[in-house]
Structure 1
């Protein structure tokens, strides 16, 4: 066999061997890529994304698309070939596995956390939109979680409304911990609550629950790394009662990053005219009850997904602007927003053709 042919054959066999080895060698990485985008003003899987009843709504044209990132699962074992391909692919991003899934996080835990964040983002979107429209929303301090094996287990339940502790009215979640830690471990603390089932019934009828009961709990001593203190084993949060029904129908989506776009979609449905003026606007960002927009992960993949779907403008959280501006997809205008008011102002500029006034993102 000629030397040149033998060399080429040996090189080919070596390359094949390396590729085969790469398939079986796993690496501690995960991959992020552009995910689906959904118009909050439209339908998904045959039904409206935003369903509002008990209040007059208006037709809304155009697009206010929420964006997503597709990620490999927590238990997926990426091989070396896939990692190299991901590093070379322009629209994908390979990151250390622990970046997406902290050590010890299971697929089930990740899914549950994403679902909880998604649910909370929907609630905050509703509150932010209604506050913007000056529509009153009642807020309550509730039991968010009860720690298994804690003094509160079986005594308090997730969803119970905390009206008072030791007779002192509770106005914010932080008030609960302050009231409990006034005690020493082993002392009794009295919670005045509206049971979760009674509050749920009142929410369904858009009425105010009036039935309360006192629950006495003996405190225990904390066993975490912080200062020793009295605890009952709950975390407190906030829930809301809305004057009409707002349902967000979007399956197989998790995390908090659609909050801004949900809030804008709700606002658009509840006001005459079109926020976008018929333009294709996409975006992302968490939102809190007061309309403040927060940063999200995977901004580079979300802008690509939006551009590929047809978006011309992308509402970008201010804290994500620098990363997004480093590699802006062609034909997409990044619009910097810090609050829901910023987003509404930007949409006004878009629908009136004053696009030169839009706040832009810079690389620094």
Structure 2
């Protein structure tokens, strides 16, 4: 009896002790070729195209999300963390990994909103390029991550990024890759501001991009394109770049005859660049469970996330590895035809 009393007392104490962690769990799933609720509560097509012929779709192409329980103002209790540790659909992660020091919750939400807008533009560019349309690209600074970011005082919102270390920049992902290749070394960035050109040297710091450790200079980039017709993606209350690949697949499906997915319910995740490269994301395990719980049998995962997928695939879900938009389209073709034997999967 005394042991039970002590255990209960310890649990009560732990309930009120502060923690330094948050919980990631499966979030809502949205069908990119279906509808979504607008801010006014009205059901709207998630992808709406004006100025080009569109076609009926079937099945679903679901983008998956992750919800974060807790923030700097209120972290989960130790009891909540213990419950999450025992749930394979949830993950306990350090607070600083999701809410970096010096970045307010409001700033984080603003950054994620900009990343979402940027991912929609990149997805549209990738989809239209895949279909043979010509698109132009201008990389601009949308904002600074914080007032003490490495680029603060050197680069300003609205600057057009022209080159980095002598390499012309035509896509946001190019600058990110150059910074990572440098391993923390200073980066010489050429820019255009109010019609005048300039250059600065910025030294990256260790930080996080989409939940992954990375070198950062603390700016948010957006890419402006010249599209031949209007593509509008309407999705509120979702941030970050991880829906890019599924947006691109949805756009291709709407603009081409027939059902790209063969009428199947297919889910997936992954960033995308205008050249069709699919990049890694955070929370892949939570997204797998979210897709399974929403009824999907098939899942497209970034090849770069395969090490996190192996051994954590929920029963009833089949996962295929993709590194480009072409890979994703081939996977959909295989699923549609019923011939998936040769499609790459995540293996140990």
Find the counterpart in structure 2 of residue 319 from structure 1: 304
Structure-2 change in CA distance of 1:144 and 1:15 (3 Å): closer
d(CA) in 1 for partners of 2:323 and 2:202?
39
Find the counterpart in structure 2 of residue 79 from structure 1: 77
d(CA) in 1 for partners of 2:4 and 2:35?
52
- Note if contact 2:118-2:221 (Cα within 8 Å) is conserved in structure 1: no
Structure-2 change in CA distance of 1:283 and 1:141 (3 Å): closer
Find the counterpart in structure 2 of residue 357 from structure 1: 342
- Note if contact 1:118-1:253 (Cα within 8 Å) is conserved in structure 2: yes
Deviation (angstroms), 1:238: 3.4
Deviation (angstroms), 1:78: 1.9
Q: Which moved more, 1:309-318 or 1:74-83?
A: 74-83
Deviation (angstroms), 1:138: 2.2
Residue in structure 2 matching 1:89, options 73, 87, 90: 87
CA shift digits 1:316-354 (9 cap, x unpaired): 111112321212111111111010000101111111111
**Between Structure 1 and Structure 2, whose CA radius of gyration is higher?**
1
Please list, as runs of the form range in 1=range in 2, the aligned pairs for 1:23-38 lying within 5 A after superposition. 23-38=15-30
Structure-2 change in CA distance of 1:115 and 1:237 (3 Å): closer
- TM-score when scaled to structure 1? 0.76
Please list, as runs of the form range in 1=range in 2, the aligned pairs for 1:97-246 lying within 5 A after superposition. 97-142=95-140, 144-145=142-143, 158=158, 172=170, 214=195, 238-246=223-231
Residue in structure 2 matching 1:21, options 5, 10, 13: 13
- Note if contact 1:74-1:105 (Cα within 8 Å) is conserved in structure 2: no
Structure-2 change in CA distance of 1:78 and 1:50 (3 Å): same
Structure 1 position 289 matched with structure 2 position 286 = no
Q: For the aligned residues, what is the CA RMSD? A: 3.0
Residue in structure 1 matching 2:254, options 249, 269, 281: 269
Structure 1 position 41 matched with structure 2 position 26 = no
Structure-2 change in CA distance of 1:113 and 1:152 (3 Å): closer
Structure 2: tracts of 5 or more residues without a match: 38-42, 176-187, 206-218
Deviation (angstroms), 1:144: 4.0
Query: Does the residue aligned with 1:128 lie in a helix, a strand or coil?
Result: helix
Structure 1 position 69 matched with structure 2 position 66 = yes
d(CA) in 2 for partners of 1:108 and 1:137?
33
Find the counterpart in structure 2 of residue 231 from structure 1: none
Deviation (angstroms), 1:116: 1.4
CA shift digits 1:263-321 (9 cap, x unpaired): 00000000000100101110000100100001111111101010111111100111112
Q: Which aligned segments of 4 or more residues in structure 1 are displaced greater than 3 angstroms?
A: 141-153, 160-164, 170-174, 177-180, 214-217, 221-226, 234-238
- Note if contact 2:22-2:69 (Cα within 8 Å) is conserved in structure 1: yes
Q: Which moved more, 1:77-86 or 1:334-343?
A: 77-86
Deviation (angstroms), 1:236: 7.4
Deviation (angstroms), 1:17: 1.4
Residue in structure 2 matching 1:331, options 277, 291, 316: 316
Q: Which moved more, 1:16-25 or 1:54-63?
A: 16-25
CA shift digits 1:163-202 (9 cap, x unpaired): 99xxxxx87487xx6657xxxxxxxxxx686xxxxxxxxx
Residue in structure 1 matching 2:333, options 340, 348, 354: 348
Structure-2 change in CA distance of 1:84 and 1:143 (3 Å): closer
